[in-house]
Structure 1
């Protein structure tokens, strides 16, 4: 999905950092020193598995909220709204929701700047409008999309193994295009007021005449995302920084003895991936979100200030207006908005790396601690 592609660089980096965790659990449970009777206790394995699951949930929550929802809102928010008055401005008892100093006082509005200028103000705004779980808005749509996408990729790839990267890339692009309606539904769910999301998501899927206009944007974003991934990957294979097999998409060779050339090549590949993400992937993702947002029904209120006309580029549907064009979607995304989005992504990158590294350290400490205790017990016996 579009905003997921925006955060791909951080996601792949953290995924690489924690990719050895399952192997570590397997090693922890294997016999040592030739004594086949020595095995890790169920308690040890339970603690390790619980740590791994906690880390996966934490990283998943960060990826969805800070890597997908917050960027999507930043992409559509008007940097300089004329007036933004949230609907339902009063509670049932007549007390205004947005009084200064109250729990729902929205920072970042009006003269203070955009709501999405900071992660904290964005999350605070979402919870003020939709409750504690509002940062996870659209999660049901995303999960359904995720499973449907996996099924379609398996069908379209015709059984191609992971080593057949190009075939699976084409299958993924085809799956993304086939699921355009769900992509549009997710974007509309994220940017809409909670009152617009009261119905189950399959009843909110837009009509074919609406989402078919977004198909070119979905195709462009999917192709751009694969270019940003495949070009560095093939370069890494050529430089022997990666190798392929049928069990895994990529494997780093000789991790214990990296050469200077391998290290330099890995750094170069990372920088190339980052450059392609910033120059190709992010603009395509921005265009997709804005094109899909322009197809939002005019009677649906949005949760952030949103210029429905996109600076006059889109007229009302009743007057013959339609979706925003791809080029206009990116060109209309102002430089202040681009800087704001990049700052959010940089913060998400830093937070993800920090949290991922923390869980790796905790997991490694548990492994060392359990191993030490096992040796002490064996020594006493």
Structure 2
């Protein structure tokens, strides 16, 4: 007897890209991009319309309400985007839209929760940014005692830790629930680029058998096992590291180009900007 320990296709970025390109061609790297642009346009149009007709009373509350309403209204568009990303190519937009009619009942709750937790993190990040800015100004103060600097540094670390914790244990589960609910509603005639259990451990009851044809909101997270969660977290860490490396590379390339084209002017600008930052810090 031979036991083969097979790793999931999505365990590595390279193996994932290699598989999807072998199944759907080199353009599979950009799967769903057009549908994603359509979704962004639908969100923008819906937001503008609601902002025009919604009374401007209690501005923060109206912004939150508008964002949640837009997420619910455009939930089918988001599901079309998900289906176009995970399914084999072949269907056009109208064919996918016709296949998801009557899906609001299963989509409105995960779409609302995901948008709500994103807004929560957005406002938390805004408040935390003000605290961090205040602590950084205090730390840069040469007259501050060392104990006060340590306390300010701990506060900065605590703010960053709180944001990471919320992202991992609030935002990530909400996104997983939304995407898995959408994936469970993929029509039976559509083949997926990467195979997965279409029954979600038997949680999905087809409509022909009297079920909803979609996985439940809570079952979407419960059926997402620990190995899959760790794999997803590792993927986000890899994406963050790759994005950071590309950002720093782009910044250095742009800085080198500025120095090569206008060396002395760039140097004077940097010195002036540094002096203005120091003056603003002292005034604060």
Paired residue secondary structure (1:112) = coil
Paired residue secondary structure (1:301) = coil
Higher relative contact order (CA 8 A, sep 6+): 1
Structure 1 stretches of 4+ with a deviation exceeding 6 A read none
Number of equivalences: 251
Change in 2 beyond 3 A, CA 1:299/1:230: same
Residue matched to 1:294: 184
Unaligned runs of 5+ in 1: 1-109, 243-251, 376-381
Aligned-partner Cα distance in 1 for 2:64–2:136: 23
Instruction: Summarize deviations over 1:302-348 as a string: whole Å, max 9, x none.
Output: 11121121111112221112211111100110001111111111101
Pick one of 23, 31, 34 that aligns with 1:140.
34
Change in 2 beyond 3 A, CA 1:119/1:324: same
What are the residue-to-residue correspondences of 1:1-381 with 2, within 5 Å?
111-158=5-52, 166-194=61-89, 198-205=90-97, 206-237=99-130, 239=131, 241=133, 260=149, 265-322=155-212, 323-372=214-263
| Two-structure CA RMSD over aligned residues (Å) | 2.9
Aligned-partner Cα distance in 1 for 2:173–2:256: 41
Paired residue secondary structure (1:314) = coil
Q: CA deviation at 1:271?
A: 2.2
So what's the TM-score if we normalise by structure 2? Answer: 0.78
Higher helix share: 2
Paired residue secondary structure (1:208) = coil
Change in 2 beyond 3 A, CA 1:320/1:143: same
